[in-house]
Structure 1
Amino acid sequence: MLRLLPFLTALLILSACLQDETLSGYGDGLWALTQQDGAPVTADITLDLRETGQISGAAPCNGYSAAQTAPYPWVEVGPITATRRACPDLTAEQAYFDLLSRMTLAEVSGPALILSNDSGETLTFRRVQP
């Protein structure tokens, strides 16, 4: 039994090292956009952080996804891929994608997720309860 102790200790340490240190590890779940640069948002836009190293969601017209592997609290959104449906809100959708791609910092505080950058731009989300 004592021979197993070092092995079990090493296994425990290794499992702690494998914890998700990206935004997904801290903000795991689905988030709804409530403010863009401090202004209320009426369009239905979501951000899904349930998959490690990936963000996805629904914008006003299309679903989207991108890589995000920077360690928390930093954010580096990779190229955004989206479906190609047309709708009247394409301008709002493109503005969201452009702003999302410029975010560099994240703060998860209870039911709020705030993405920001050095220029003072912000995206504020609230956690969507399952």
Structure 2
Amino acid sequence: MKWFTSIALLVVSLTACRADDFQRIYGGADRVWLLKELNGAPFPVRATLTFPKAGEIAGEGPCNRYFGGMKAPYPTFDAGPIGSTRRGCPEIEAEIAFLAALETATNSKVDGETLVLTSSDGTKMLFKTSD
């Protein structure tokens, strides 16, 4: 039984490495992504998305910094739970919309300097790299 458990852990570890490599190959990691559009409308304030380490997301909304886990490899997008600092500001409604869309995103596509996140309910987020 210990042998089977060891093999299972090895397979899971190798799969996780391939998933992280896949994300890096397609250019999602090591960049700061700026939200430009939410559901086809220009996003009026600054919001960012980064992939600081394998299995993590982080960034800044209009008011707060946020962070969360990434539970699936590219091109699937499954972030959460998302935590954040708790400052208020005049743009808090935009931040709430941004974080809600981020939590519901289920698919990602990197195409050069563009990252698009979509969800099954039709939500679409368009990011551009800040590099």
Normalization by structure 2: what TM-score?
0.80
Partner of residue 53, structure 2: 51
- Alpha-carbon contact 1:63-1:82 (below 8 Å) kept: yes
Equivalent in the alignment of 2:10? none
The root-mean-square deviation of aligned C-alpha atoms, in Å, is 2.2
Q: Which residue of 2 aligns with 1:5?
A: none
Q: Distance in 2 between matches of 1:25 and 1:50?
A: 15
Indicate the residue corresponding to 2:17 in structure 1.
18
Query: Deviation of residue 22 (structure 1)?
Result: 6.3
Query: How many residues were matched structurally?
Result: 116
Larger radius of gyration: 1
**Paired residues of 1:31 and 1:48 also in contact (CA < 8 A):** yes
Q: Which runs of 5+ in 1 are unaligned?
A: 1-14
CA distance in 2, matches of 1:18, 1:84: 34
1:103 to 102, 105, 116: 105
Corresponding residue SS for 1:123: strand
Alignment pair present for 1:116 and 2:118: yes
Partner AA of 2:120 in structure 1: D
Q: Which amino acid aligns with 1:72?
A: Y
Q: Report deviation, 1:103.
A: 0.3
Identity %: 35
Q: Which has the higher helix share?
A: 2
1:78 CA drift (Å): 1.0
